Chain A
Amino acid sequence: GQNIDQPTEMTATEGAIVQINCTYQTSGFNGLFWYQQHAGEAPTFLSYNVLDGLEEKGRFSSFLSRSKGYSYLLLKELQMKDSASYLCAVRGNAGNNRKLIWGLGTSLAVNP
């Protein structure tokens, strides 16, 4: 079967660094996405990884290891506004498996 695992909740302190992990088992692999979703709002796109390695975009970085079925989202210099749910999604690579499979999300609380 296809499965995405993320921690349910995480807590961190303003100004700190936090790493949100995502492991996946899917029918093939054609890219991994991270989205941010604030309560009551729609998900917004953060990053996309299709090759192994680290992609850096400002305070946010995303890492992928295809051989390990593993990714993480790294958030630096945390701000209160980073309190949100972070969703990991993987696209398979064949037929109906090309649809995105979503994790349940990691709820991050940033405390002052």
Chain B
Amino acid sequence: KAGVTQTPRYLIKTRGQQVTLSCSPISGHRSVSWYQQTPGQGLQFLFEYFSETQRNKGNFPGRFSGRQFSNSRSEMNVSTLELGDSALYLCASSLVTDGTQYFGPGTRLTVL
């Protein structure tokens, strides 16, 4: 069974731009969570989607948004990029909303 996939793997953007990241969960998994990982802050929870509904949300500004499609694929969008948004963005999928999470390889975003 294929694992979680994320595209693109690497992105370089400039301040003020916006970016969309994509995540395809493991087949059959309906829950997708997004995290931001930086060396100083560790894994910070962004949001979780289950059956196209946002179930939980972390403490990030409204510039960070997401959605989930009927096939469980998910996207997250960051608008008006700031230098501090440079990070590894990880997507994790699980069978159910409280299940064990399996991570994708991540998208490395660099904001210049």
Contact = CB atoms under 8 A, between A and B. Distances in A.
Interface of A: 30-31, 33, 35, 41-45, 48, 87, 89, 91, 96, 98-105
Nearest to A101: B45
B57 interface: yes
A99 B101 contact: no
Nearest to B105: A42
A98 B41 CA distance: 20
B93 to A, nearest CB: 12
Contacts of A98: 55-56, 97-98
Contacts of A104: 41-42
A101 B44 CA distance: 8
Contacts of B45: 99-102
B9 to A, nearest CB: 11
Interface in B21-43: 33, 35, 41-43
A22 to B, nearest CB: 13
Interface string B77-103: 000000000000010000001101111
A100 B101 contact: yes
B90 A96 contact: no
Given A42-B106, A96-B56, 5 more contacts: A33-B101, A45-B100, A87-B42, A98-B97, A102-B43
A55 to B, nearest CB: 13
Given A45-B100, A91-B98, A102 B56 contact: no
B98 A30 contact: yes
Given A42-B105, A42-B106, A96-B57, A103 B42 contact: yes
B104 interface: yes
Contacts of B41: 104
20 contacts: A31-B98, A41-B105, A42-B90, A42-B104, A42-B105, A43-B43, A45-B101, A87-B42, A87-B43, A96-B56, A96-B57, A98-B55, A98-B56, A99-B56, A99-B58, A100-B45, A101-B45, A102-B45, A104-B42, A105-B42
